[in-house]
Chain A
Amino acid sequence: QKEVEQDPGPLSVPEGAIVSLNCTYSNSAFQYFMWYRQYSRKGPELLMYTYSSGNKEDGRFTAQVDKSSKYISLFIRDSQPSDSATYLCASSGSGGSNYKLTFGKGTLLTVNP
């Protein structure tokens, strides 16, 4: 079992829809959770960074972490065609000198105008 599981999609929604992207993880040591957006042929862009359980909101984006169920979610409100990209969830632990990220496979999202 991969440490971070993510449905690769693809996911296609109409403009203005609410998008829900999800990941599960298996490593109980993970404490930091991130969502990255990657456009084709570009490097990933950090969207959301959260620690432990809870919600974090930034504009149209909301990240949720439920450590009891090891579930990570990203919600996009009022989705726009410019949101079309691959979304990667990532997790890391704490301790030690490095915080290696473990990535999900990524979900390809298309928002249709």
Chain B
Amino acid sequence: GAVVSQHPSRVICKSGTSVKIECRSLDFQATTMFWYRQFPKQSLMLMATSNEGSKATYEQGVEKDKFLINHASLTLSTLTVTSAHPEDSSFYICSAETRTSGKGGEQYFGPGTRLTVT
């Protein structure tokens, strides 16, 4: 149980184009999904928190107009990198949270999407 998928796993795009990454919880409903970014040999940096049916909450320093997040259903969140530039090249990982009443949520991570902007 608690499987999260991401699509695509790898994408190469040209500078100035937009890229959409999908994150799905396959066997559970996730009211909250998180988007992270990870540079080589670095830890995960939280970009935004996505709640189903409401606007995403972005971390300080993350441009909301550049990284568009849509949480359309309890099993799907998307991250769109708009007008991508080479500095946006990174490993993007989503996670989905299971929640048991009164407990801190356990987060299950997708396999990640490697974005390369040329």
Given contact pairs A44-B44, A104-B43, A51 touches B104 in the complex (Cβ within 8 A): yes
Question: Which of A43, A51, A98, A103 is within 8 Å of B103, CB to CB?
Answer: A51
> Chain A: interface residue count, which band?
20 to 34
Contact present for A92 and B104 (CB under 8 Å):
yes
B interface size (C-beta, 8 A): 27
Residues of B within 8 A of A36 (CB): 109
* A46-B2 Cα distance, complex, nearest whole Å: 10
A94 CB contacts on chain B under 8 angstroms: 103-104
Smallest CB separation, B93 vs chain A (Å): 5
B75 located at the interface, meaning its Cβ lies under 8 Å from any Cβ of chain A in the complex: no
A43→B105 contact, CB < 8 A: no
Name B54-74 residues within 8 Å CB distance of A.
57
B111 and A42 contacting across the interface, CB-CB below 8 Å? yes
In the complex, which residues of chain B have a beta carbon less than 8 angstroms from the beta carbon of A43?
4, 6, 93, 95, 109-112
Given the known interface contacts A99-B97, A103-B43, the answer about A44 and B109 at a Cβ–Cβ threshold of 8 Å is: yes
Query: Could you tell me which residues of chain B, from 18 to 63, have a CB within 8 Å of some CB in chain A?
Result: 32, 34, 42-44, 46, 49, 51, 57
Query: Chain A residues in contact with chain B, CB under 8 A?
Result: 31-32, 34, 36, 41-46, 49, 51, 88, 92-94, 97-101, 103-106
User: Which B residues fall within an 8 A CB radius of A?
Assistant: 2, 4, 6, 32, 34, 42-44, 46, 49, 51, 57, 91, 93, 95, 97, 103-112, 114
